[in-house]
Amino acid sequence: MPGFRGSGLSPQDPTARTAMASKKSAREGLGRDMNIILVGAGNMGFSMLQKWLADMEHRFYVVEPVGALRKRALDAGADAFATAEDLPGVFEADVVVVATKPQAVPEAVAKYAPYISKEGLFISVAAGVDIKTMVAKAGRQFAIVRCMPNTAAAIGEGMIVCCPSVQTTLSQRDLTGQLMSAIGKVAFVNDEIHMDAVTAVSGSGPAYLFHFIEALAKAGETAGLDPELAMTLAKQTVLGAARLASESDEPPTTLREQVTSPNGTTAAALSILMDLEDGLTSLVTKAVAAAKARSIELGR
C-alpha cells in the first residue's frame, strides 16, 4: 500500500494544511465512515464535493494539482493534496471518484488502483472512457462504474447515467447513486452498449437546448423584438417549460395539447415544427443518430 511521502509544500502554503473540520451530518444508507478520494476539483468535481461535505460524515481526500482549486477544496472542508503521492500513509480508499478530462482517466485508474481497498469502488464521471479500458489499466479486479453526466451537473441539475461493471455489488451501485445525486438526477443502465445513445441524448442534449434558445431568440428578433428581450424570453420560456414538464404529472404531449388552441397561434407554429418530414422530431432524430454514431467511432 502506498506510503506517505509528504506534499513537499511549506507549512506556510495554505494548500498544504489538512482540513480537520468534522462533517455536519451523515446521509442515511451510506453505512460506516469511508475514505473517499476525489480526483479533480474543477466545476463538476467541486459541485459534488460541496454536497458531500454538507450531507455525509465520510473522510474526503481531494487530489488536485491546481493550487487555487486545491485551496478552494480545502477551504470547503476537505483534505486536499497536490498529488496521489501526498496522500496519508497506509491508506486505503473505499471509493475513488475521478472527475478529470477523459484523456486523464486511463492514467488515473492505473495511478489510484493501488490505493483502492479489496472491496473498493472506482467511479469515473468522464465522458467516453469505457469500462474495458479502465479494467485493462487497473491491473487488478475491483468494482468500476462508468457515469455519463452532462454540463448541467455543474449547478446540481445534471442528468447522470451510470453503468456498473460486473464486479459491482448492489450496495456499491446504491452508493454510486447517492454520491452522484449530488449533481443531479441519476439513472442506471446494465449494458454499456446503451451509453452511446445516452451520450447522444443527455450528454450532448444541453447543446441542443442551447441552440434552440439561440434559434428562438433569433426568431424573436426577426419578429421585431429587441435582442436582449428576445433572449430573456427564450431563456425563461425554456426554463419554465422544462420545470413544468419535470414537476407535472402530465406527460409532455398532454402539456403541449393543453396550451394549443384549435386554429390558434400555437397551432400555427406547431404545424411547422411538427411537419412529418422536415419538423423538429425528424431533425432531432437525425441529430441524435449522428451523435450516437460519432460516440461509437470515438470509442473504438
- 102 labeled binding residue: yes
CB neighbour list of residue 134: distance below 8 Å, 6 or more residues apart:
105, 106, 109, 122, 124, 144, 146
Q: Is the dihedral of CA 144, 54, 58, 89 positive or negative?
A: positive
Q: Is 99 assigned to a binding site?
A: yes
Collapse the DSSP code of 118 into the 3-class scheme (helix H, G, I; strand E, B; otherwise coil) and give the result.
strand
SS3 of residue 96 by DSSP: strand
Taking the C-alpha atoms of residue 26 and residue 44, their distance in angstroms, rounded to an integer, is 22
Name the amino acid, one letter, at 277.
E
Alpha-carbon gap, residue 160 to 183, rounded angstroms: 8
Contact 146, 131 (CB under 8 A): yes
> 260: annotated binding-site residue?
no
Indicate the annotated binding residues: 99-102
Name the binding residues for NADP(+): 99-102
